[in-house]
Structure 1
Amino acid sequence: MKILVTVKRVIDYNVKVRVRGDGSGVDLANVKMSMNPFDEIAVEEAIRLREKGAASEIVAVSIGVKQAQETLRTALAMGADRAILIQAAEDVSTDIEPLAVAKLLRAVVEAEQPGLVIAGKQAIDNDMNATGQMLAALLGWPQATFASEVAVEGEEAVVTREVDGGLQTIRVRLPAIVTTDLRLNEPRYASLPNIMKAKKKPLEEKTAADYGVDVAPRLKVLKTVEPPTRKAGVKVASVDELVDRLKNEAGVL
């Protein structure tokens, strides 16, 4: 079985995000970029499934700017067999919307015919949490979102999902879409030999026009602002004073 894994280039999660002075967006100048953490989990899960004998090939796909090659090379160094980069933007500040990404992924899926697509549940830059669901709808495939455990059993996948009430285990028929949650696994570090090997693995470059998909944005960001600074807390001398303040000052009781 072939597994298709989606990866996205985002600001590294350790970096403090800064807003441009004119409020037009996030400042990306000289900012460290890396693979979306949820996508790292997706790549790791695909590798583990291959190690268990459930998969024979892993294809990593990224949609965005040319610099996303670095992200794909990371996926290849982790263990993916080959990669596909779909260049859909020239400006690193341009974020391709989920519907356009889903349409491009549908075209890739139709060409590659994978038995399973694994994606991060969301990207940490826009937190849309929509691409996996949109892709499932466009393909007419079953989906299992927020996965914390995945097992392939014959022609089906058994997925444990994280839901508001706890955990839910479902069985979906392959081919299917699975989106990963944080507790699914802990991604491995790419070793130096594997990083060197990744440079020789095939990386195919395409454009959105090659698939006939219009990636023009349908949403317009009017202004970007930083969240308000959190006010300092206060100490109270007793429970009675705390209750009084919550009731009369905060108005939450």
Structure 2
Amino acid sequence: METFVFAGSTGGATRTDSSILLAAGALGLGFEPFLIQVFIEGNSSVSAHVRGLPFVTSVIEAGRGERITDRIRARSRGKAKYSPVIVDMPAQDVLETLLMLSGLQVQILVPMPEWLPDPGEAVADFKRLKNHWQHWEKLKRQCGARPVPLSRQPSVRLFPVGVVPDDVVPNLRRRNLLSDDESQASVVYPGLPRFNPSEMNFANGSHCFALTESQIDASARIARALLVDID
């Protein structure tokens, strides 16, 4: 079973949109995705205003990290590898996300929309997560987090939105945001195209879950890219 976590410290970075489209794409490929939406008190989850989500969804309030890990572990015990878990994290310090996922082997995806005023923020999140091993002693001192064995440490990749993936690494290198030794493997291909914000409510006139044809196509593309190794 694979676990994908959309994380980052910047608001409006399409973590929720990306997680829903990945879940829909996984379902379309015959998987049984489990979407966990972590929300901050005062905000609402997608499941609160969209009926008929075609995949299992769990809504957890931020700050309840133990519940997130418990849900993921319970799913891994009860389901086969054909049930990927997709976690939609709120905007928060990525080290908080890392702490909440302590002990879980996950793939962390950091969305990088083209409209962010400063892509350096997404890159900074990516670098902090990629070098997470440097932070465990600090986290252990602050919060009692246990060190995670190398075999269970998370991997992290940039997830472009509205950006041509082939251009991401060269462009970031030119802006001195990534070093020359950073490979294209650090980026998810093909990422997501840019959608009209009015299309991103994922509901029809009856408030039931619905995707446009372009969203269905995009969801299938990212699901194939991320789930291709699950056979």
TM-score band by shorter chain is: 0.3 to 0.5
> Could you state the TM-score of these two structures normalised by the residue count of structure 1?
0.38
> Could you state the TM-score of these two structures normalised by the residue count of structure 2?
0.41
